[in-house]
Amino acid sequence: MTRFSRRTILKSTVAPLLASPLLPLLEAHGQVASMPRRLLLFFTPHGTIYDQWKPGGADTAFTLSPILQPLAAHRSKLVVIDGLRINGTYHPNCALAPHPIGMATLWTGSRVNDIETVVPGGNVPVGVWSTGPSIDQVIASRLNAGTRFRSLEVGVQTSITQAAFRTVYSAARTAVNPQTDPRALYASLFSGINADAARLAKIRFEKQSMIDVNRAEVDALLRKAGAHDRAKLEAHLTALRDLERQLAQNTAVCQSPAMPTALDAGQVANRPELFDQHASLVAASFACDLTRVASFQFSNGHDNVPYPWLGYQGAHHDNLSHDEGSAGPRATRVQICRWFSQKFAVLLDKLDAVREGNGTMLDNTLVVWGTEVATGAHNFDNVPFIVAGGGAKGVRSGRLLNAGGAFHHRLLVSIAQFMGQNDITRFGDLDAGSGGLAGLLA
């Protein structure tokens, strides 16, 4: 019986197959290439109504609350985190400006500088900024993923342009402004990506089945090989076929979406459609591997506007969040918070609709939903956080996780470690402890 070494097989008559860009698969003992890890940070303002947000039950036997009920379809891919704190009370002006302090600390875990000025009558602090970078920017700078965009920042009517109302920082005192116009975002992401028909045809040809292209040579090699070597080669070919299917799926979904409908990006009534447009573009940018790190900021911590699509015409910040102890404002706030859950579900739907390997893009993406304060009372205890997705990369999903009063820095560390940055054991400068959030990652 003729025996073939693995090296002999690789140098065999199927050279066109084995010399293809898929050769690393065969050199990796037949393992299918891993899908990339991705990160998406999502922000909505003003915290929540805690007793209407917190799920019932415990651990995997939890029940979704009225506010979180719109996420029912994704329950198995959620980690609802109760008991996290943002360390904001260190600041002497915390009571004066809790929203900008919370926003600047949310993804950075760092102190803000002293508040220099407050705009008369507006309670808008000037000169507030984080003294450190946000976790997404640190990760993006380390990944060296070779994507067209190192990171992507989008937002819906983030309005106030001061650093006081930004969550993403590339460095100390350097806030990153999100793109709020979907059509401008579309142009920057997808301009020309589908215009070159010949290039797309070439990509599809290169990603067609190399096994089928070289079928005769593959069959000849299998006939020559003994039983032992034939089993090894067939295992390699099976893994190769699996990877080819994944590549074919990714080629199919990596298409430029339609140009978003023209909308006034500053018109409050357009918020629902603006959100959906941005969600589609973020999902498409991930599917086309244009970036692996993104953030989505919905409005800001001074969201003093009506929500007419919900039948509310007052001011969200002043009329509701400051008076949520009263029955009427409380009911409306619950409705708004539930609407935030509905839009978060839309975002998850779009990620979960993209097939990747044996799962979906959501399974390979860590989506973290946070806010700047716990409730309208401006406290920083029990700040609501939800982690979605990432189950294929080690997130222990489908659970209510009690953080036991830990600072949210532990979540920031876990975000970094999910993205492969295991040397990060502390982040920011407001938590003397170290390590990730216990129980989040396997």
Q: What percent of the chain has pLDDT over 70?
A: 79
Q: Which residues on adjacent β-strands are paired with residue 429?
A: none
Assigned token pair, 288:
């086309």
What are the φ/ψ torsions at residue 111 (nearest 5 degrees)? -65, 155
**pLDDT tens digit sequence for 44-61:** 999 999 999 999 999 999
The model's pLDDT over 180-233, given as tens digits with 9 standing for 90+, comes to 999 999 999 988 665 444 544 554 455 455 556 566 666 777 777 777 777 777
Instruction: For domain 39-193+265-418, say whether CATH 3.40.720 is its number.
Output: yes
* Residue 143 reports pLDDT greater than 90: yes
The winner for highest mean pLDDT among 3-7, 23-27, 175-179 is 175-179
Strand-pairing partners, residue 130, are 112
Residue-level pLDDT at 18:
42
Q: Is 160 exposed, middle or buried (0-12, 13-18, 19+ CB in 10 A)?
A: middle
Amino acid, single-letter form, for residue 302 = H
Cβ atoms within 10 Å, residue 25: 20
Residues 6+ apart with CB under 8 A from 253: 287, 354, 355
Q: What is the CA radius of gyration of the chain?
A: 25
Q: Which residue has the higher pLDDT, 216 or 392?
A: 392
**Three state DSSP letters for 34-76:** CCCCEEEEEECCCCCCHHHHCCEEEECEEECCCCCHHHHHHHH
Q: Mapping DSSP to helix (H, G, I), strand (E, B) and coil, where does residue 181 land? A: coil
Q: What would the 3-class secondary structure string for 236-256 be? A: HHHHHHHHHHHHHHHHHHCCC
β-pairing, 117-118 vs 125-126, is: antiparallel
Q: What is the mean pLDDT of the chain?
A: 84
Nearest to 337 by CA among 368, 360, 369, 365: 369
Query: For residues 357 and 407, which has the higher predicted lDDT (pLDDT)?
Result: 407
Each residue's pLDDT tens digit, 337-375: 999 999 999 999 999 999 998 899 999 999 999 999 999
- Averaged pLDDT, 3-26: 40
Q: Distance between CA 236 and CA 26 in Å, rounded?
A: 6
Helices (H), 98-154: 98-106, 135-143
Residue 387 confidence (pLDDT) above 80 = yes
Helices 327-352 and 271-287 sit at what angle, rounded to 10 degrees? 30
Of 89-103, 190-204, 217-231, 267-281, minimum mean pLDDT range: 190-204
Pairwise CA distance, residues 129 & 173, whole Å: 5
Spatial separation of the C-alpha atoms in residues 348 and 352, rounded to whole Å = 6
- Candidates 334, 395, 342; CA nearest to 367 is 395
Residue 258 has pLDDT above 50, yes or no: yes
Domain boundaries, the chain: 6-31+196-251, 39-193+265-418
Chain center to CA of 83: 22
* Confidence (pLDDT) at 243: 54
Write down the pLDDT at residue 340: 98
Q: What is the Cα–Cα distance from 136 to 283, expressed in whole angstroms?
A: 17
Q: In the numeric block, which tokens belong to residue 426?
A: 């502390």
Q: Is the pTM of this model over 0.85?
A: no
pLDDT digits (tens, 9 = 90+) for 115-130: 655 444 445 555 678 9
Q: Which percentage of the chain shows pLDDT scores above 90?
A: 61
Comparing CA positions, the residue from 153, 98, 87 lying closest to residue 123 is: 98
Backbone angles phi, psi at 56, to 5 degrees: -90, 170
Q: Which of 326, 296, 301 is nearest to 378 (CA)?
A: 301
Among candidate residues 5, 15, 25, the one with its CA nearest the CA of residue 241: 25
